[in-house]
Amino acid sequence: MNSIISTIKKAPSCLAHPVFYLSAATAVISIISLFPVDAFKNIGEEFENGFNVLFLVLCGGIIGNCVCKNSKKAATVSFCLLLADVMYFSFANYHFSLLFIVCASFLLSYFVQKFDVLPSYLSCLVICVTIGLVSGSLYYIFDSLINMTAETVSGNGALFGLFDNLYLMLFGTQFRDIVLTKSYSTAQIVGGNIVSGALNVFKATVKNPTVSTSYFLSGKYFLNIFVTVGAYLAFVKKMDLREQVAFSSAALIAILFGKTELFLIYIICFNPISYFEYLAIAFVSYLTASFLDLRLGYLENGSLIELFKYSNNMLYFIIAGTVLAALTYFLFRIVITKYDFESKMILPRVTNKLVKALGGDENIIKVENGSVIVSNPNLIDVLKVDCEIHENTVTLYYDDYLLLKEYY
């Protein structure tokens, strides 16, 4: 358990650089793509297609160096993951998801850390080739699962919002692409032709959007803008300066250009439990949009820029969005306060037993001058620790005192 918490605590710091670099690149490419020049738009499309690959190369190298403190081993992790992704892409025509990349980067980094450069390279290569082949072979199972889920959410925008953000981290954009461009979301006759998919229907009826827009598209604006603001305000004060810069850049990208993946991966790495709360809020966001019949569509990512382009009936949208932002803030604050991985003490087993005998981490105020100052001496289990208690001051054996002093 301690090793898991240790990894979670290290993840935001290790991810700060790749998240910031990719956020900056996304901003530049997105701004260039706004110009009505075909060459610029092609650059944007190519960047979008290679987004996960760029993240993989950055993430593998930087996390590898963060864990191993060795540039050669970091390069090994990055190269081997890239090889696995190429093999997976040959089966699935999709790249690894961001969450898979982060998890694989940490696991491989901890593995190669234990060996010399050459053995680590060979073993990492074998592992990644295996990952590529196995994940590629299992793609058809993933694809069946995604299509089955698409059937389940057919006609239900709120369920789509939940599963879309779940599968976005697990498999990438495949679920979204299927639902929004095929009849799983809607199929309507427009101008005498059958048009399938909420995105395609909105494109054909942009001046007079249909109800499918409020069911499957409008909720994304709530998530990308208002929920992002609420989550950002809840998290940012818990981070150090480097993490704040990376998190702020990811939040801006989510709001301005509708790319939420970097923002979400940072939330998951900072506090995994909060991600499940985000999924619940996604459900509520899409439900709210459909209940209010807010027909705010988009053709790309549901960004703030697109909102101004396709906006109508903004009053209800702003009111509902503000409520969702406040709800997100308070719910996230509750979770990150109760499950604070960042400040949770990581102790060896022997030290952990001693701390529990003294009434737990919350009961220990400070350790100094050969004694332990506790908040409530009645919580001390005198059967499990040899000590002398005088009011709130506890005197331990010298060896036990040294165990605590190392961590307090």
Contact 87, 132 (CB under 8 A): yes
The two counts, helices (H) then strands (E), for the chain are 20, 6
DSSP 8-state secondary structure symbol assigned to residue 363: G
- pLDDT(401) > 90: no
pLDDT band for position 326 (50/70/90)? very high
Q: Which residue, 203, 172, 173, 170, is CA-closest to 186?
A: 203
pLDDT band for position 255 (50/70/90)? very high
Contact 258, 317 (CB under 8 A): no
| Mean pLDDT of the residues in the chain | 88
pLDDT tens digits along 285-313: 999 999 999 999 999 889 999 998 888 77
User: How far is residue 389's CA from residue 289's CA, in Å, rounded to a whole number?
Assistant: 61
Q: Give phi and psi for 292, each to the nearest 5.
A: -85, -5
Segments making up each domain of the chain, as ranges? 2-139, 142-338, 349-405
Residue 389's SS3 state is strand
Phi-psi region of 35 (alpha: psi -120 to 50; beta: other; left: phi over 0): beta
pLDDT tens digits along 336-360: 888 766 555 556 677 778 888 888 8
Q: Domain 349-405 falls in which CATH fold?
A: Gyrase A; domain 2 (3.30.1360)
Contact 11, 342 (CB under 8 A): no
Determine the pLDDT at residue 180. Answer: 94
Determine the pLDDT at residue 6. Answer: 56
Measure the CA angle with vertex 84, ends 60 and 135; round to 5°: 120
Determine the pLDDT at residue 384. Answer: 84
H or E stretch covering 188: strand 187-190
Determine the pLDDT at residue 251. Answer: 96
Determine the pLDDT at residue 342. Answer: 57
pLDDT band for position 271 (50/70/90)? confident
- pLDDT(1) > 50: no
What average pLDDT does the segment 304-330 reach?
A: 91
